[in-house]
Structure formats: C-alpha cells, structure tokens
C-alpha cells in the first residue's frame, strides 16, 4: 500500500528544467531549479502543506510520478512540463486519469513566443495555467491551488 500524502502537493518539473538558471538566462532568467524548489516548499509550508518537488527529462517518469501522486492521495499538482506541454498527449491523459487538481506553470509567456508554444496539452488537463511571471509563477500557482482546495495561510 502506498504511503499517504494527503498533506502534500506534487511540484513536477519536466524537460530541461534541471538546467534552469544556465539555459538561455535571457529567456528563462537566472533562478535555478533548486531556488524554484525552495520557493515551492516555503510557499506550501505557509499553507501547512508539503511540496514534493521532482524533475525528470523523461516523459514516462513524469507520468509515473503523476500516477504515484494518485496512489498517495496527493492534494494537488503544480506542473511545468517544459517542452512536453506542447506535445505530450500522454501527460495530458495521465493528469485527466488521476483527477487531482492541477495548475500548470510556465516561466515565460508562452503566448509571446514561437507559435508551436501557444498550445499546451497539459493546460487542457489543468484547472488553471500561469505563464510569464518567471519563477514567481510557482508561488502564485500554489496560492491559487491552496485557495481552490480551501486551505488558508497558517500563522
């Protein structure tokens, strides 16, 4: 039996986000994935929940993480699938299958970039999508997810 994670949200980062901070900093900024994960843990903690932060460049592993979140009864998912957002029907289907409230995040404004980035399969499976706020989008996503879940800030 899977360990319960009912006080946890999954923060899932996909392809190429492991090189955040060094990959095209003029586009993605200088913040690293470690800084994103710290921001997420601190923001989640302010709502009395834990952030389980994971990253993979492999689509199948991201899907496994989503399925595991369902088995563990994870409260919600924040996902930045990177390039998989625009081409992975399988991630879309996994998110729909588990029926966990999900918020999609993109560091850049995908609608102001190349045309192929304007469409996101993961957004179609999410309750909300944020883009263009840099890493601050993760904080906003957690705050929005917490509001949807009825979780309030802890003192």
Tens of pLDDT, residue by residue over 80-127, are 988 777 778 999 999 999 999 999 999 887 765 566 555 677 988 999
Choice among 18-22, 118-122, 149-153 with the minimum mean pLDDT: 118-122
Predicted model pTM: 0.90
By annotation, the residues acting in catalysis are 28, 106
Domain assignment present for 154: no
In a domain? residue 53: yes
Per-residue pLDDT at 7 exceeds 70: yes
At 35-92, the pLDDT tens digits run 999 999 999 999 999 999 999 999 999 999 999 999 999 999 999 988 777 778 999 9
Residue 3 falls inside a structural domain: no
The residue range of the domain holding 143 is 8-149
155 within domain boundaries: no
Helix (H) and strand (E) counts in the chain: 6, 5
Q: Which ranges in 46-77 belong to alpha helices (H)?
A: 59-71
Task: Please report the pLDDT score of residue 4 as a whole number.
Answer: 57
CATH number at residue 29: 3.40.50.9100
Whether 103 maps to a domain, the answer reads yes
What does the pLDDT read at residue 112?
A: 57
Q: Note whether residue 33 is domain-resident.
A: yes
Closest CA to 63 of 117, 122, 138: 122
Q: Which helix (H) or strand (E) holds 146?
A: helix 136-149
Residue 1: the pLDDT is: 37
In a domain, 123, yes or no: yes
Is 109 contained in some domain?
A: yes
Buried b (16+ CB within 10 A) or exposed e, 60-69: eebbebbebb
Residue 16: other Cβ atoms inside 10 A: 15
Q: Give the C-alpha separation, 41 to 51, whole Å.
A: 5
Report how many domains make up the chain.
1
């Amino acid at each position: 039996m899977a360990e319960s994670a009912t006080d946890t949200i999954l923060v899932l980062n996909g392809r190429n986000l492991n090189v955040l901070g060094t990959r095209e900093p003029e586009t993605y900024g200088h913040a690293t994935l470690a800084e994103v994960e710290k921001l997420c843990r601190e923001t989640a903690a302010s709502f009395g929940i834990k952030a389980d932060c994971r990253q993979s460049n492999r689509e199948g592993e991201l899907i496994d993480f989503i399925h595991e979140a369902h088995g563990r009864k994870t409260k919600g998912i924040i996902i930045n699938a990177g390039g998989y957002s625009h081409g992975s029907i399988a991630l879309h289907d996994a998110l729909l299958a588990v029926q966990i409230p999900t918020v999609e995040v993109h560091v850049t404004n995908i609608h102001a970039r190349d045309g192929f980035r304007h469409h996101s399969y993961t957004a179609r499976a999410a309750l909300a999508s944020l883009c263009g706020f840099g890493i601050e989008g993760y904080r906003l996503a957690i705050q929005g997810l917490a509001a949807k879940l009825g979780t309030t800030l802890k003192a």
